[in-house]
Structure 1
Amino acid sequence: MKVSIAIAGLIASPALCYLRLPHRGQSAASIRRNEFTIRSSAGYLAQKPLGFEYTPIPKSQTPLTSDPFPIDDPKGIRIHPVDERACKSGSRQLTGHINVTQHKSLFFWFHESRRDPKNDPLIIWLNGGPGASSLMGGFTELGPCMIDDEGKSTVYNKHGWSNFANIIFVDQPAGVGFSAVTDDSYLPYTAQVASTDFSVFIRRLFKHVIPEFASHKIHFMGESFGGVYFPSILTKILDQQQSLSELGLPDPFPKIESLVLADALVDWATNMIGSYRTACVQRPDETGVEGQVLNKTACEVLSAAIPDCEKLGSECRLSMDGPTCQAAAMVCDSMGESFWDLARAGERNPYDMRGDCPDRDICLGYFEKRMTKYFNQPRVLELLGLPDTTVYHDINNEVNRRWSEWAYDSVLPVLNRMTQILEESDVRVLVYNGNSDWIINTAGALGWMDIVRWKGNGEFRAADLQPWEYTDDDGKKHRGGMTKQAKNGKLTFASIDKAGHMAPHDQPVALETLVQSWVEKTFGPSR
């Protein structure tokens, strides 16, 4: 039996992803830009053609899951404990695969908390893509260890989030990272299929692997395209819980305490509208960028395009129709042309405007090269219990291509899912964004948070942004960014000063403070 294994990055997350907008014809401008592919922190964030021709009907993917693995069946679960040789974590860790169907398995890497694993909360982390491995977050951002500059070993991360929480990094959908499919025909390429698989994974994980953690406070955290993944997964779980309740059956899912969206894609139109403030309004104290990113002419063109993007974005949100949203995405996407010109010239990094893009084609290539080198070492594969024929790739390009070209999920907003989470559950929601991130920007995050429908909308819109603080390793206080919230923190926003797409990497102390205080329900503006 042939097993396909690949490694991915995320979009922020993206963390390293490759977000493509599907079914687009080739315009001259788009052909020029398509010569330049940029990878993000969670995979890749590549901009697709801007023409107006598209395939009107994407391929469907049915059934939702094939040969589902029975939840109570312990077969199809492979656990492999690892030690400090694989990751200098400072706590107990294990890896494994869990079959979600007869043809698909998801890989996870679990780290116990360094502080109090029996009582600390549990974070489940996803990077984006689609098609990116969550190990990018685990080994370059927030995990207990980091891959060294040479890509040969790991170093202890003193600001890893395992300081206060147990953490699981999951490679999904199947076929991404160390997750596997028996054949590429089983690669998921819609949120519906991926969410169904993940709900099976969650139930089997807590039933057979870590049942002692099922009663802990559990936090879903997703970066970049994780802003599509986790709202889809969480609403899938909520729907299943409702169905079980109506049938009078017990709830097999653990309680989800909160959802954290990190530089996350939720609505493409508001994000591209936000690119104007991001690139055309000088805010050096927030972004760390001196001067205006785009020149006056480019900003005037960008400003003039906002009304059309707003109109089409609104039509997309009202209809939730694939072709309508695709048309909106194409128009709104054209607003980024001037910035992509700078990126292609190597002058600006879309994932962190403070930097340039010397590699031209891989603006975050130093992360990816490090990851690829480390996980392709035979000794590391052996430590993980993987076959020596396994090849680590930073992204599963076929998964990304199918999500981008065979379905509309990369252009459909998930605002309706956010409404369901805010209105029909007790789940708290935190949205944080690096102020130096252009590709998924702070203004765009605030844009969708202002229009999401829920009973706290008016309160959130009316709330003033206030500074929040953190204390560095020398005991000095700093402004971390700005924050506001509604309904006693039901929905909370926090910006991160001088941080790009991979904010935990750029500002590790600030993010450790932010996330720890969030899970402990103590986060708020400075007094």
Structure 2
Amino acid sequence: MNAVPLMILAQLGASMLSQVGERGTRSGLSKRPQSGESCARTVYFYAVIEADIDPLTAPTFLYLGGGPGESSPIAPMGFAGPCNLDSASDRPVLNEFSWTKRANSVWVDAPAPTGFSTGPVERTLNGAVANLIQFVDEFFKKNEKLNKNVHLVGSSSSASVVAMLGARILKVSGRKIDLKGLMMISGVVGPSALYRGCLEIAKERALLSKKNLDKMEANLEKCLKGISECNELGPGRPPLGYHCRKATVTCESLLVDPIRKTGTSVYDLRVDDGNEEDLYAFELGDFEDFLNLESVQEHLGVSKWWYVENEEVFEVFGQYTTYDTTHFVTELLNKGMK
């Protein structure tokens, strides 16, 4: 890996804070520039925001967005950082519930070229995790003061990634990373349970006719067979890409699409597909407009059109929905992780 200079998103946080009040001068969030990391031609963009409490004693978490292909800056600007992007004004406002009040944070755009990361699309899950391990190793070597009480946080599809990452960190004693635990938000880890759940919820909520429910039940076995083929090499072994892609297409078409075709959202059964935001407790501004402002990108030291989600990354890594990473979670728990 070669270091590639990139301004961190924390500078954006500093810019945001200067617009909304005194907190920027007293919170210690105007951080100095860090650097991105590159693996071959892959360059990961990351952001560091230090804790409001003493950063030298605060724990640290490293966050990966979901998707796959969702850019991590959505999280600090949406719910977990010092400022949220207000929907009415598309301007930043202070977030009293910021995770960074009591923890140092590292927000990473991965796999490449998610968000502000650059380079060719990473092609395999194992390859992306290997690059992330190298990134994490180098990051904490260069930022030793942040290497304490470290937690990995993965949202949705990245729950599997942080489980794999955590397990590999613990396997190599030479890695001096003070890993204490993981957080998996709406994690996709056990595909068999996920797709069984589609059938169970369809029955419980009477989302389909009996005829279609019976058809779904019969198709569940096809899905489970595909999942088995995806994981044919055994627990903890690499997924078989071709079989995983085939299994994911099978499971989605036979167990998710029937619900989607009713017009019901598969993310929130209370609303129609596409209307998930209707019941959100709060509304956020337009991330894409904000992060593509020339002035904002100058603060970040980047020059790339930013998208909420990278479709190419989604296309490549979406196939791993049927890869079972329960083994890695079990390994972590057995080694005392929380």
Larger mean CA deviation between 313-322 and 137-146 belongs to: 313-322
Q: CA deviation at 1:98?
A: 1.8
| Residue of structure 2 aligned with 1:228, choices 137, 157, 160 | 160
| Contact in 2 for aligned 1:269/1:329 (Cα 8 Å) | no
Q: Measure how far apart 1:402 and its partner are.
A: 3.3
CA 1:357–1:311: 2 relative to 1, 3 Å: closer
Q: CA deviation at 1:311?
A: 5.1
Give a deviation string over 1:49-78, Cα, whole Å, max 9, x none: xxxxxxxxxxxxxxxxxxx33xxxxx5344
Deviation at 1:227, TM superposition (A): 2.0
- Aligned 1:236-275 pairs, distance under 5 A: 236-239=168-171, 241-242=172-173, 251-275=174-198
Aligned to 2:251: 332
* Cα distance, 1:305–1:409 mapped onto 2, change above 3 Å: closer
2:76 corresponds to? 138
- Residue 111 (str. 1) matches residue 34 (str. 2): no
- Number of the residue aligned with 1:218: 150
8 Å CA contact 2:51–2:58 kept in 1: the answer is yes
One-letter identity of the residue aligned with 1:402:
V
Q: Which residue of 1 is the match for residue 28 of structure 2?
A: 92
User: What pairs with 1:201-216 in structure 2 (closer than 5 Å)?
Assistant: 201-208=135-142, 210-214=143-147, 216=148
1: CA distance, partners of 2:158 / 2:177 = 20
Deviation at 1:294, TM superposition (A): 4.2
1:295/1:142 Cα in 2 relative to 1: closer, same or farther (>3 Å)?
farther
Structure 2: state its 5+ residue gaps.
235-239
The count of corresponding residues between Structure 1 and Structure 2 is 319
Alignment TM-score, normalising by the size of structure 1: 0.54
Aligned equivalents of 2:273 and 2:321: distance in 1? 25
Distance 1:99 1:318, change over 3 A: closer
Change (3 A) 1:294 1:402: same
Cα deviation 1:396-455 (Å, max 9, x = unaligned) = 222233335xxx6443222232333233x3322xxxxxxxxxxxxxxxxxxxxxxxxxxx
Matches within 5 A, 1:66-215: 68-69=1-2, 75-80=3-8, 82=11, 83-86=13-16, 91-93=27-29, 94=31, 96-150=34-88, 152-181=90-119, 184=120, 187-208=121-142, 210-214=143-147
- Rounded to whole Å, the distance in 1 between the matches of 2:246 and 2:274 is 33
Q: 1:376 to 1:79 in 2, by over 3 A?
A: closer
Amino acid in structure 2 at the alignment position of 1:305:
N
Q: Is the 8 A contact 2:51 2:100 kept in 1?
A: yes
Residue of structure 2 in register with 1:47 after alignment:
none
Q: Note the residue ranges of structure 1 that are not aligned, 5 or more in a row.
A: 1-67, 70-74, 243-250, 283-291, 429-527
CA contact (8 A) 2:80 2:99 kept: yes
Report the structure, 1 or 2, having the larger helix content.
2
Amino acid at match of 2:170: L
Question: Are 2:262 and 1:342 equivalent residues in the alignment?
Answer: yes
Q: Which amino acid aligns with 1:357?
A: D
2:300 to 373, 384, 390: 384
State the 1:379 CA deviation. 2.1
Could you tell me whether the CA contact under 8 Å between 1:322 and 1:412 is conserved in 2? no
Match of 1:302 among 216, 220, 227: 216
CA shift in 2, pair 1:419/1:279, >3 Å: same
Match of 2:204 in 1: 281
Question: SS of the residue aligned with 2:122?
Answer: coil
Aligned residue type for 1:191: L
SS of the residue aligned with 2:199? helix
Distance 1:306 1:377, change over 3 A: same
SS at match of 2:39: coil
Distance in 1, matches of 2:84 and 2:42, equals 29
Partners of 2:183 and 2:317 in 1: CA distance: 23
* Distance change (3 Å), C-alpha of 1:166 and 1:293: farther
TM-score, normalized by length of structure 2?
Answer: 0.81
Distance 1:393 1:325, change over 3 A: closer
AA matched with 1:163: K
What is the distance in 1 between the residues matched to 2:273 and 2:225? 33
Structure 2 residue corresponding to 1:352, chosen from 264, 268, 274: 268
**Equivalent residue letter for 1:332:** C
Counterpart amino acid of residue 138 in structure 1 = P
1:108/1:168 contact within 8 Å kept: yes
**Structure 2 vs 1, CA of residues 367 and 124 (structure 1 numbering), >3 Å: closer, same or farther?**
farther
Q: Which amino acid aligns with 1:396?
A: N
In 2, distance between residues paired with 1:273 and 1:266?
Answer: 13
Distance 2:159 2:208 in 1: 27
Deviation at 1:201, TM superposition (A): 1.6
- Per-residue deviation at 1:308? 4.4
Distance in 2 (alpha carbons) for counterparts of 1:264 and 1:122: 20
